[in-house]
Amino acid sequence: MTATSATRHLDLPGGRIAYDDTEGTGPLVLCLPGLGDTRGVFRHAAPLLVAAGYRVVTADLRGAGESSADWASYNPEDSAEDTIALLRHLGAGPAIVVGTSFTGASVLWIAAEAPELVAGIVLSGPFIRDIPKNAVIKAAEWLVGRTPALWLTYWKTLFPTRKPADHAAYAARLKTSLKQPGHVAALRAMLASSRAACENRAAELTRPALVVMGTKDSDFKDPAAEARLVAERTHGTVVMVDGSGHYPQAEFPDAWVAAVAEFAAKAAA
């Protein structure tokens, strides 16, 4: 993906999904962002993956970025089914499928539902289970899902060590995106959704998995322990990115890409 990549769209029953495609000749790596973000979270990592010899596709979730925002529901399995349709449309698999945060659960569903399309899965800062929430956390989620400004206040805390050089400009673009009709409502629906249906499919996985977690990921009480738990359930391996928060692909793209490229080379062989 480059700064001038043209947005493409895939029309599906219920809406449109926006994506970029480098159209490279190497193995396909398809990257999904988390909720409240766009495919732009991979803006620094994607060119590095391309340079490493991969075809990279990044997609916006339903209700976010340049995808439409009038879908009937916004569960992680919905995003999974959208991605399965995109993989079939691309016809370039089996792919390495990358899930971030919310879409970590989606990637479990994808690999279980359509293993023929998947060479391996990467779970970056993943939420694959419904972690119990106390009243404070529930109230915080309700609050940050009210307006773009409140969400951005929270989002900016997810980069504790090294913000990208274009961090402020990207934050402004993200805020503009969230102001589009239906986008905050979609964000609220994602925040309220359950991961149980996707978590239950972990036992069906037959493809290799990599868990990438930042050591300072504030979304988890103990990031290393959560990474180990996810790896156990997916029979995967763990790479911890020292100093990174929730988005190592943006905060430490070199380290994140090194881990993903090494895993992809083995999984796609």
Q: What is the pLDDT of residue 5?
A: 63
Q: Alpha-carbon distance 127 to 32, whole Å?
A: 13
Cβ atoms < 10 Å from Cβ of 206: 9
Q: What is the pLDDT of residue 92?
A: 86
d(Cα 229, Cα 200) in Å, to the nearest integer?
14
pLDDT of residue 90: 95
Yes or no: say if 106 and 80 are a contact pair by the CB < 8 Å rule. Answer: yes
Could you tell me the residue ranges of all domains in the chain? 8-267
- What is 8-267's CATH superfamily? Alpha/Beta hydrolase fold, catalytic domain (3.40.50.1820)
Which pLDDT belongs to residue 4? Answer: 40
Tell me what pLDDT residue 136 has: 53
pLDDT in the model for residue 2: 40
Residue 94's SS3 state is coil
- Residue 39's alpha-carbon distances to 20, 110, 147, 173, 258, in angstroms, are 8, 18, 20, 12, 19
Q: What is the pTM of this model?
A: 0.94
Q: Which residues contact 68 (CB under 8 A, 6 or more apart)?
A: 15, 16, 62
Ranges of residues in the chain with a pLDDT under 70 are: 1-5, 133-140
Q: Which two tokens stand for residue 164?
A: 């990208």
